[in-house]
Amino acid sequence: MIGEYSGFILAGLGGGAVVAALALGLVLTNRATGVINFAFGAMGMYVAFAYFQFRDNGDLILPLIFVPSRIHLLATPTLFTALLMAVLLSAVLGAATYWLVFRPLRRAPALASVVASLGLMLYLQEVVRLNFPTGSAATVVRMGVLPEQPVRFLGTAVTANRLLLVVFVVLATVALTALFRYTKFGLQTRAAAGSQKGAMLVGISPDRIGLINSMIATVIAGIAVILIEPISGLDPITTSLLVLPALAAALLGGLSSFTIATCAGLGIGMLQSLILGYTVRPSTSWIPDWVPRTGLQQAVPVILVLIALVWRGDALPDRAYLVDKRLPSSPTPRHVTLWTILLVGATSVALLGFDAAHRQALIVTMVSALLALSIVVITGYVGQISLAQLAFAGVAGFTVINVANDGLPFPVAALVATLVATVVGVVVALPAARVRGMSLAIATLAMAVALEQLVLSSKGFSGGVAGRSAPRPVLFGVDFGISARGADNFRPIFGFLVLGVLTVSCLMVANLRRNRTGLRWLAVRSNERAAAAAGINVGRSKIGAFAVSSCIAGLAGVLLAYSTSTLSTNSFMVIGALVALALTYLGGIASIGGALIAGLLAQAGLFTLLANGGTDGKAGTYVFAISGLGLIAMAIFAPDGITGAVRQGAQHLQKSLKMGGQPPQQTALAGAGAGSGPGAGAGPAEGKPDHE
Amino acid sequence: MSEVILQVRDLSVRYGGVLALSSVSFDVADAQIVGLIGPNGAGKTTCIDALSGFTAPSARNPSFRYISFLGRSIDRLSPQSRVRLGFARTFQSLELFDDLTVRDNLRVAAATPTWISTLTDALWPKRKVDAAVEEVLELLGLDSFAEDRPEHLSNGQRHLVAVGRALVGRPKLLLLDEPAAGLNPSETVELSKLLRSLPDRGVSVLLVDHDMSLVLGVCDQVHVLDFGSIIASGTPEQIRSDPLVISAYLGHGSSGVDEPALGAGSES
């Protein structure tokens, strides 16, 4: 009995070691640059793919698109040359990501670095999918590095590679701890983390520090993922998501302790293995059937993340936290009636005039825009980075199918499902309202994983892999169902239903944004302390915003359920949530127009359909990779997104058209203001001299 | 003597091993301007943070009333609840909402939301002008900048917006954290005029600043903080001649002769 458990626990050493290695890297980059890199698992994943490719046939595959990426380096690669190549490649990758992505974002808001690292993760996943032979067609023989024969350890059989992995991680931990404690470089890193300006003043270059630490961290991650391959396999998505348990471990170490992060990582791995081993035994029949057995094991790091975050959380940020960082600007919606008439009119014409394929793309666009709108509310208006919106949509989608199949009529079922999503959103918001910025992004990502693994993957709720189908929505005897035979498929009447929901949602969000609720949200986003001093209940504002946004996400989920013949869990995987946030950021995260553009850009939306038409289907292949790159670029150069760029362009044009000799009004006013007393106009300061 | 609206008793704040505020006690009466001065690091901002609920006092005897406002204990209230009771504050660093126009900066602080206001805002928004907001904009001379964003305003105007945001909820007591920081002398004079007009509008003021001239010029009663304790209390005249105050500001051994900060107050 005991032996059985210790077998499970020791088997988890391998997984635990790779979690610990990634956690070490996260702690290292956070200490050196203050950034939490969501793409860290993906970076290790790419290095491992490159290593096995090189070890197999001497080809180095670079993470590039549109240019030849395969270089034949060696005819007969050996273990040594392949490992050397992997170390060099990781170092270069670490340096490049630091220099190109995270260095420009050092002073940017948390949202920008989250978005950029999500972009990097998406890009790396896509580039691996595009450039490497994967899946069943894999032709690469993955030669493991470490010996795999079983050895006896503490009276239990365990493979040697697991023990060696642990040795590798422990050595790395000891080395890093010593490096930080006893060397000048470690001292400089700690100094630069404390105050970059101060460090520069005493002649330390924060760039050099950040660069070197990023290189070390990536090498550790790359090697660990290579070593774990024989144990856990290698997959673009699941390996990238190893960053989540690693984050849990790093957070338990306060994002600063190497030793605690390593211990926590090993602990998480062993606990997961124990739970997995325990739950799949036939004798553990007390666990009800609706609990997905593999989900339980995934939920452990999630619960740890949440506990660590909420435990460390604060109701309000303290003085030291406040930094003056610009967030994407959120203009007041203007000309709402005009826009509504124009867009609803154009969409109606399109619904009636398009063929089935374009109608389908239009419907996908509108449903995606609705999901993006929920992200605009919570992340754009209130500044709370939520990666759980797609999971809320999933909860609503399967709920509507279940209650409709139980006999509830269409509109009631849809309302019930939306309400359920809203309640789930509020429940998620309760702990989330205690954390902010990067921590909130991690917390909501953890919640999304928990919902995906425990609820959406549950056979009783979603029908498991097979999925479930909704009955046709019928209201007052009118059939709103989407499907029909042949060219009539993707019926316009369903499109009008979606258009109606989207229009009403956008108008309500515009109302909120223009009135006190929206002002309170923006105030909370701008400065939580000042918001509290203005009499705003910050926590309640956030929870209200979560309710509104999860309600909208729920509507999107309901429409998604009715628009597909079979709804499956695959529609709501965490990677999709990342893409949704990414596209919304691309469109313009703090405006309703941004949500609509995000809908256009969505996969299988109008843009990909049109682009595919012009490029023989190639655009669809590259859409994720390009949106990953676009995301990084936007985070660095254009935080206001596409709508922001268009708006600025329009203002620029207006200005240059007006430039008929008269000076631009804006600058004249600012110039007068800068020099004068409290009021250049009326009031107590009237008539004051400009200078003392 | 008019009614006491704020009563502070034995208030202490500890940051780790540092006692930032040590057993501070004072009162603010209705329609009074009370000053709290002290050199840098004396505990002024800590005191404001504790009064407004942003910092927890270190001693917490549940039966003792450390801070009473309008006759009730506010020790357990959140910052926003204290504001809604009529105890507003500003920040030394202003902390304006940069995304909002000047008018919206005031509007957001003007009304208390009800639990249903999100719903009514979404479905049936009210379009009427808020009288309190327009009144404060006019009082502070900000009406012509109402549609500008704070970043386009001068430093003095931004200070006025901060004061306006605190005034718009019609507080009984206004806590001003270094309102003159970064203002030029003429702006400071305008500010002190504004402050002196507030008691007539039913607003008492607790003014925290290290600018002696401003504080001594407008306040009815002044308390001097040094190393977290109140070392002197009295009218501006008494404070001006207090040897303890002079040594706290100028260091030991100085005579009170050559310091402009103390003398300047009488001019304005």
Which of A520 and B40 is assigned the larger pLDDT? A520
Highest mean pLDDT among A71-75, A78-82, A635-639: A78-82
A577 pLDDT band, cuts 50/70/90, is confident
Cβ atoms of A482 and A562 within 8 Å: the answer is: yes
Apex A554 CA angle, A119 and A442, nearest 5: 40
- Residues B39 and B215 sit within 8 Å (Cβ to Cβ): no
Look at residue A675 in the predicted model and tell me its pLDDT: 35
Claim to verify: residue A60 and residue A148 sit in the same structural domain: yes
The domain that contains A71 carries what CATH number?
1.10.3470
Assess whether A250 and A351 both reside in one domain: no
Residue type, A421: A
For the stretch A268-316, pLDDT in tens is 888 888 887 777 666 666 666 666 666 777 777 777 777 777 776 654 4
Last residue of a domain, one of A541, A572, A603: A572
Same domain, residue pair A91 and A216: yes
> Of A572, A605, A632, at which residue does a domain stop?
A572
Same domain, A212 and A355: no
Domain membership of residue A171 as a residue range: 2-312
Which residues of B are less than 8 Å from A381 in CB distance? Answer: none
Q: Is residue A628 part of a domain?
A: no
- pLDDT recorded at residue A638: 76
**CB of B183 closer than 8 Å to CB of B156:** yes
- Helix intervals (H) in A202-316: 206-232, 236-240, 243-252, 258-279, 293-312
The answer to whether A684 contacts B190, with C-beta atoms less than 8 Å apart, is: yes
| Rounded Cα gap, residues A426 and A428, in angstroms | 5
Q: Is residue A685 part of a domain?
A: no
Beta strands in A476-568 (DSSP E): 478-479
- Distances in Å between the Cα of A490 and the Cα atoms of A328, A471, A495 are 36, 15, 8
Q: Is residue A114 part of a domain?
A: yes
Write the burial class of residue A457 (CB in 10 Å: 0-12 exposed, 13-18 middle, 19+ buried): buried
Q: Is the dihedral of CA A8, A11, A15, A19 positive or negative?
A: positive
Determine the average pLDDT of the residues in A661-680.
38
Strands B18-29 and A474-475, bridge-based pairing: unpaired
**A282 and A370, same structural domain?**
no
Which tokens hold the place of A377?
Answer: 């509310």
Contact B154 A673 (CB under 8 A): yes
Tell me whether residue A512 is in a domain. yes
Element (H, E) at A474: strand A474-475
pLDDT of residue A32: 78
Indicate the residue among A556, A572, A588 that finishes a domain. Answer: A572
- Tens of pLDDT, residue by residue over B37-49, are 888 778 888 898 9
Closest CB from A519, A535, A679 relative to B80: A535
List B229's β-bridge partners, or say none.
B226
User: Which of A452-461, A652-661, B135-144 has the highest mean predicted lDDT (pLDDT)?
Assistant: B135-144
pLDDT in tens, A495-511: 899 999 999 999 999 98
A665–B contact, CB cutoff 8 A: no
Q: Over the Cα atoms of chain B, what is R_g?
A: 19
Give the Cα separation of B195 and A307 in Å (integer).
48
Q: Does A685 touch chain B (CB under 8 A)?
A: yes
Nearest Cα neighbor of A12 from A352, A192, A270, A315 is A270
State the total domains in chain A: 2
Q: Which residues in chain B are contacts of A519 at CB distance < 8 A?
A: 100, 104, 107-108
Separation in Å, CA of A481 to nearest CA in chain B: 28
Do A349 and A259 fall within a single domain?
A: no
Would you call A683 and B112 a contact, using CB atoms and an 8 Å cutoff? Answer: no
Compute the nearest-CA separation of B86 from chain A (Å): 10
Indicate whether A300 and A375 sit together in one domain.
Answer: no
Strand order in the sheet with B229-234: B87-89, B173-177, B204-209, B33-37, B221-226, B229-234
Kindly state whether residue A420 falls inside one of the protein's structural domains: yes
CB within 8 Å of chain B, chain A residues 525-544: 525-527, 529-538, 544
Same domain, A25 and A130: yes
3-class SS letters over B16-73: CCEEEEEEEEEEEECCCEEEEECCCCCCHHHHHHHHHCCCCCCCCCCCCCCEEECCEE
Helix/strand/coil percentages in chain A, nearest 5:
70, 5, 25
In a domain, residue A416? The reply is yes
Closest C-alpha among A126, A102, A100 to residue A26:
A102
**Do A173 and A248 share a domain, yes or no?**
yes
Same domain, A95 and A164: yes
CB contact under 8 Å between A682 and B144, yes or no, is yes
What pLDDT was estimated at residue A324? 42
Q: Clarify whether residues A47 and A171 are in a common domain.
A: yes
CB contact at 8 A, B241 and B69? no
Which tens digit of pLDDT belongs to each residue from B173-204? Answer: 999 988 888 888 888 888 888 899 999 988 99
- DSSP E strands: which ranges in chain B? 4-15, 18-29, 33-37, 67-69, 72-73, 87-89, 173-177, 204-209, 221-226, 229-234
| A151 located within any domain | yes
Q: Do B154 and A316 touch (CB under 8 A)?
A: no
Q: Calculate Rg over the CA atoms of chain A.
A: 27
For the four alpha carbons of A222, A224, A225 and A227, in that order, the dihedral sign comes to positive
> pLDDT value at position A2?
54
Q: So what's the ipTM on this one?
A: 0.85
Report yes or no on A591 lying in a domain.
Answer: no
Give the domains, in start order, of chain B with CATH numbers.
4-86+170-267 (3.40.50.300), 98-167 (no CATH)
The answer to whether residues A17 and A65 belong to one domain is yes
Taking CA atoms, A185 is separated from A190, A191, A372, in Å, by 9, 10, 44
H helices, E strands: number in chain A: 28, 6
Question: How many whole angstroms separate alpha carbon B242 and alpha carbon B233?
Answer: 9
CB-based contact, A609 to chain B, within 8 Å: no
- The dihedral over CA atoms of A582, A583, A588, A594, expressed in degrees to the nearest 10, equals -150
